[in-house]
Amino acid sequence: MVNRIRGRRWSDQTLLPMRTTRQLFNTVSCWYCDFKFSTFNEPLFRFGRRHSRSLRVWFSMGIGFSLAALFGVTVIMVCEFVRAAFVYTGNNSLGDSLSLLGLSSLIAGLNISLPSMGYLIVSSVICVIVHEFGHALAAASEGVPLEYIAVFWAVLFPVCNLALLLLPFILSPFYVHGRNPMVLDVPSTSPLSGYLSPYDVIYSVDDIRIHTPQEWKQTIILLTQKARSSSYYYSGISNVRRGYCVPRFLSGVSIHLELEMNQTAICPSELVAFAPVICGGAHEETKSIIYCLDAKDVVKLKKCGYYGNVRYPTNQIDCHLCTEIESCLAPVQQLGQGWIEITYSSPQCKHETKTSLFSDEKHSIRSEGENGCLQSFVFIGDLISMAHSIHLTSYQPRFSIYFGTHLPNLLEKFLTCSFHVSLLLALLNSLPVYFLDGECILEETLNYFRFLSSKMKQMILRLWLLLGTFISIFFVVQSIFVVVS
């Protein structure tokens, strides 16, 4: 009788009770600190049971990603470990070979600004919270009641990328996306300081329409590469074979001198050196006439020389000629410098009736109903550093209110950083290391190899975890050493 009563009492108890029978305490120790709460136990359990089929499909996709991440981080760890061993012995041939395959060194020091640190911390907190709710939903979908929730989250991994892609649509009632990049800030150290101001809109670079900040940087890089490939040189000086139709009376009154092979073009500081562009690829071998002209007057003239599509170059490029009373002159550039013409619109011009420097038919960059005026200036110098010296955004406010101009840029940075952090956390959590999810993933994967005995599976699991833990500790120590040194 006693045994029956005990048996009945024992059978009425559940392995995991629906409600916790003990008071939850927050834990703080030298290893970690956590915050436990049970407020969402019932809602999450009901939601998980109601949508268990959909959640199982979702988490099955997560298992596939986890296996791929486990394999990927294992390959990266082994490659980095072998690379470090070769570098230590003084042989960097393997490192060069891995770089050709796209596996560049993962340890490059610490280079992060204070605002980026803020984005990183906030993104990490959100990703951790989402990951823990993901564990709760996974347990609820399998019918396992919740005891408490600790702060960690992972369902946001694909959601951040989706939100980033849908951000232009979400903000479309208030912002226009992808029309032209707008200037957010021009630091005083930027070479464009004094030429561009906040809220200016960049329309084109050398007649190439610009839509986004990415196109701005890519176009500058392509223009730099094309200038190097389509230039001829005078003793360290490069003459770009695309120029302007300068009237002969203007070039005649300008300063001109003979440029020998061992001579450098010298013009007054307010003038720029120009050289003739000869169609057909012919030019004088030993000398050429150099004209010193005012760039502000030259950029207003008709263009000539060799032109083609910079983004889709072709070998069949026509040479546009000038009239008989004009000369085709191109700027002479020193090596390492470039010449580009930037066309932009300033918000101060919107309510003024200024005439654009260029016609709409020629540039096709003014939208219908737009009242902004186009202005242009020429930049001569290091194009790559210039392109990265200003802060641009793809979003323009639909109304003439610039109060929330920085909001889309902040949201874009936040979502991008959250996506990268969640991806990094997912990869780190998949490492074959003790006490991480990679240990459970590896253990469950080994269970599918039924031809292995239990003892063999345990031996493989321990060996793999020991190796993964050792390599991870090695990289942590190496990273700390690189940052400190």
What is the set of active-site residues? 132
Contact 96, 105 (CB under 8 A): no
What CA–CA distance (Å, rounded) separates 373 from 173? 25
What CA–CA distance (Å, rounded) separates 243 from 272? 13
- Retrieve residue 368's tokens: 């219908």
- Retrieve residue 210's tokens: 């610009």
Contact 146, 136 (CB under 8 A): yes
b/e 27-56 (16+ beta carbons within 10 angstroms → b): eeeeeeeeeeeeeebeebbebbeeeeeebe
What CA–CA distance (Å, rounded) separates 426 from 483? 24
Q: How many CB atoms lie within 10 A of CB 121?
A: 12
One-letter identity of residue 223 = L
Residue 228: phi and psi, rounded to 5, are -70, -35
Residue 479: phi and psi, rounded to 5, are -65, -45
Residue 381: phi and psi, rounded to 5, are 160, -155
Nearest residue to 157 via CA among 362, 355, 402, 421: 421
